[in-house]
Amino acid sequence: MKGKTGVLLGRLMRNIMRSPDTIITVAITPIMMMLLFVYVFGGAIETGTDNYVNYLLPGILLITIASGVAYTSLRLFTDVKGGVMARFITMPIKRSSVLWAHVWTSLVSNALTVVVMILVALLMGFRSNADILDWLAVIGILTLFTLALTWLAVIPGLTAGSMEGATAYSYPLIFLPFISSAFVPTESMPGIVRAFAENQPVTSIVNSIRALLHDGPVGSEIWTALAWCAGIMIIAYFVANRVFQRQLG
């Protein structure tokens, strides 16, 4: 990471640590959701596994990342509307450093939150027989997923007219895991819902992570998951940079 981007990253991370509501929303809400599903709904949900938290965790991690990435939009919106962004681009630094600082902040903050979620899951009985290569593959998928959503978040962060508009895009992303294999097998869903669930990105990502963590057959689904993440990231990256250049010159 280059020096100027590192300085901007440090500024954003300090802002996060001074904002308890960010920590509460990003970390506490998914934890409460995991507790609710495992200890209240878990006994009534048939997944074919003995330990529901093992089945649930991949989907909770994606929801956690989607919640955290929403704050990327909010931080960008605040910088743009507060004039901070305009001030930065007049300084002797690469303009791309401004956006990359927000992207790196998203990666670091979401990585910390994911670690917290996994620790909580361990306390709730989560266990995995994955080896180091499997864990590295899981980290790679989650990193690519975070990058894809982060670059997607940059677009409303730069273009939104209000704080609500900057974060509203994340609501469908948070809701999407509920219509996937994240909480229940897709086989239990009605026909139309099942067809949607089995052909949207979250299902392939969740299934791949679950297979890697529990020594299941990964198959071709991991390539589908990677293709979804890479495709979204590449398109969002070019659109976000185009918007950035057009709006801020």
First to last CA, the chain: 24
Residue 11 is predicted with a pLDDT of 62
Choose among 132, 135, 123: nearest CA to 211.
135
Question: Which tokens is 82 given?
Answer: 């507060």
Mean pLDDT by 10 residues, the chain (249 residues): 58 66 76 89 74 92 90 80 64 69 86 92 92 94 95 88 78 87 89 93 95 85 94 94 78
pTM, rounded to two decimals: 0.87
Specify whether the CB–CB gap between 196 and 179 falls below 8 A: yes
Give the number of C-alpha atoms closer than 13 A to the C-alpha of residue 59, restricted to the C-beta side.
23
SS3 131: coil
Domains of the chain by residue range: 3-248
Q: Report phi then psi at 50, rounded to 5.
A: -80, -25
Kindly give, in sequence order, each residue whose CB lies less than 8 Å from that of residue 218, ignoring residues fewer than 6 positions away. 208, 211, 212
